[in-house]
Each structure stands twice: as C-alpha cells, then as structure tokens.
Amino acid sequence: MLKNKFIVFIFFSVSVCCQELYYPGLDWEQRTPESLGFSNEKIKEAIQFAIDNENSVDRNLKNAIISAFGHEPRFKIKGPTKPRRGPNGLIIKDGFIIGKWGDVSRVDMTFSVTKSYLSTVAGLAYQKGLLNLDGKLKDYIKDGKFSSNHNKEITWHHLLNQSSQWKGNLFGTFDWADRPPKNLSIEELKVQEIPEPGEAYKYNDVRVNLLSFSLLNVLQEPLPNVLKKELMDPIGASSSWNWYGYEKSKILLNGAMVSSVSGGGHFGGGLFINSLDHARFGLLFLRNGKWKNELIISPEWIKLVQQPSENNESYGYMWWLNKGERKWRGLPENIYYGAGFGGNFIVIIPDQNLVVVARWIDSSKIGEFVEMIVKSATG
C-alpha cells in the first residue's frame, strides 16, 4: 500500500514539474478565474473596485505634474507628456489572463514604473560584466560628475537603491531642487549638509537620471535600443512603447547625439507603454527571468532587486518591496512591485503565480485591491 502511494506521488510530482509553462504569443489566451482556482465573482468585484477607485490626478497629465511638483525650485517640464484616460489593467494567473478592464492596449505615461525598467537595463549590463555593483562611478564616468570628494565614493549599488546622495546639476536641474524640504530657501538648499553616499535613502529623480546617463555611457548604446533588442522583443512586446528623455538631455556618443532617457515622468518623459506590455514584463520577473527556453535576465539579478536597501526596508533596486513602512498588511512579504505617480503599478505575487497590472488606480487603495485578488483564491 505504501509503495503504491509512493508511485502515485512520484507520478504526480513528475507531471507537475514537467508541465509546460504557458507564455503568450501574439495573442494572449484568456481563462476564467474559476478554471485556475479563483472565484469568478470575487475577481469581478476586485475589478469593479479598481474602476470605482480611479486616481484623482488630472487626466491632463501636464497639469497633474505641475500641480504635484510645480512648487519645487525652478521647476520646469522638460520632456513630453500625454493626457491619460480611465483606469485599465490585467490580472495574470499562471501566464493566462483571468481579469481585464479598460483599454489595455492604450499607450500611457507610466511615471516611476520606468525605474523598474531602468533597473532591469542595469541588470543586463551587470550580467554582461560591464559593471560591478560595488564599483565606484568615478572609475566608469570620467567627465567630472563623480570627481568631487563627496561624489567619488558613489557606487552602482548606491545609485540603484537611491542612497547615492549625489551633489550636482544634471541637464539643468540641481539635486537639491527635487522634492526639497519645504521650509528651506534656495540659498539654504544650496548649502545644506547631506549624508555621505550610502548613509541615507532619498527618492530623487535627478539622481535616477544620473543612473540612466551612467548606463548609457557604459553600454555605449541608447537604453531604449538595449531594452528593445535584449528584452522587449524576445518577450513579444508590442512596438508601440517609447522611452523619452528631455529636450536638453542629449549627449554626444560615438559621433551622434543620443538622448539620455529619464527614469520617470517627474519632469515629463520616461516610459510610455501599454498594460499588455507591462504584463509581459511582469511575467518575465515572475518566471525568474526566463521566457520560454531563453534566459533573458539572470535569476541572480531577480534576487538582487528584491534585497531590502540598508536604509529603507521597503525598497530594493528600484522595485518596491512588501516590507517595512510600506507593507501591505495581510499579504506575503515576497510581493514586490513597480509603482508610479497617478496610480501605475506592476505587482509580482510569487506565492500565487500572479501578475497584476493596474493603471490610474487610487494609490492608497492598491494594497486593498491586491488583497481582494489574493483572497479570491478558492483553493
């Protein structure tokens, strides 16, 4: 009897481990939630929740950006913007679509979700051996941006987890002008003391754009080209996405003027992309960097982006982690996600083999929304 049970167990294990994983082709197969262990009604309720809780930012995103950041010293929109429409999104289970709402083919700004793509380009450079995470930028970038006594200690690790504390002006914006303390004058901001590199976390788009600039110099190729050739095309993404920089963020590279793209939409620009392409990107991370028979991102990098920063337990390498102050209570700590202004999210939920893409949801409701999906499981 025991022997028969053992044979059944072995057969079941082999069947599960050898079951071919589904990856979408040109068409993305849809399944009912019920067929994959989720409640049809509860998934419908979650989708309605996302629709009902639309983000309040102005649909004219140029106005929304000015409203949110226009108080910053010498603030100016430098890159393109695009009006948005209503909420849309996808719920992916085992690679299949089990929930969809709104226009998931519409290309929209995605703001700081761009940072998760930028981090991924850094991962592509890392797995080629082009950068050492503990390597100091002064040894890679020789134009003076990392030559001061303060800046010369900055490493790739610092830039990726937003603890670089870099001082300077990049493409016409000083580091101190991005999200400054509201109680300081411009003159006070210029001379304020800041921590040494690696000593404190500070979310700062100027420094994120410095990472983009540095990667452009190391890779010697426009970052959108690298992303398209080495990742987006292999996973079957559309050709509708674009990654923008600013009017004055072009640099001379190999005899041609090339745009150094931005890591978000704080000043305009960044990644403009649809939800279907976001979902493919999320599925690649859920599958540990593998797409069909091709390893695109090393599993090592997938692990690295989920390591909590020394100064912020909720932040990895430009992915947010479900830990620390930003933890969504009642949900697994191994959830991680890209997040952007206006309620843009790509959420990876490994325990249930789920990817959730939500656009223009009330950012304060995203944890509740994800919880509704997770608790829709019937198994």
SS3 label, residue 371: helix
Number of Cβ atoms within 10 Å of the Cβ of 341: 22
Phi–psi pair at 331, nearest 5 degrees: -120, 155
Residue 357 sits at the vertex; the CA angle it makes with 274 and 96, to the nearest 5 degrees, is: 95
DSSP for 168-222 reads: SEETTEEGGGSS--TT--HHHHHH---PPTTS-----HHHHHHHHHHHHHHHTS-
Question: pTM of this prediction?
Answer: 0.94
Number of Cβ atoms within 10 Å of the Cβ of 57: 20
E strand or H helix that includes residue 305: helix 299-305
Rounded CA separation 74/185 (Å): 12
Q: What is the 3-state secondary structure (H, E, C) of 6-54?
A: HHHHHHHHHHHHHCCCCCCCCCCCECCCHHHCECHHHHHHHHHHHHHCE
Per-residue pLDDT of the chain in tens (379 residues, 90 and over written 9): 444 444 444 443 443 444 689 999 999 999 999 999 999 999 999 999 999 999 999 999 999 999 999 999 999 999 999 999 999 999 999 999 999 999 999 999 999 999 999 999 999 999 999 999 999 999 999 999 999 999 999 999 999 999 999 999 999 999 999 999 988 999 999 999 999 999 999 999 999 999 999 999 999 999 999 999 999 999 999 999 999 999 999 999 999 999 999 999 999 999 999 999 999 999 999 999 999 999 999 999 999 999 999 999 999 999 999 999 999 999 999 999 999 999 999 999 999 999 999 999 999 999 999 999 999 999 7
| Domain ranges within the chain, ordered by starting residue | 28-374
Rounded CA separation 269/347 (Å): 22
CA–CA distances in Å: residue 334 to residues 97, 286, 326, 349: 22, 11, 13, 7
Phi–psi pair at 376, nearest 5 degrees: -80, -10
Q: Quick one: pLDDT at residue 7?
A: 44
Q: Quick one: pLDDT at residue 183?
A: 87
Q: Quick one: pLDDT at residue 105?
A: 98
The arrangement of secondary structure in 28-374, i.e. its CATH architecture, is: 3-Layer(aba) Sandwich (3.40)
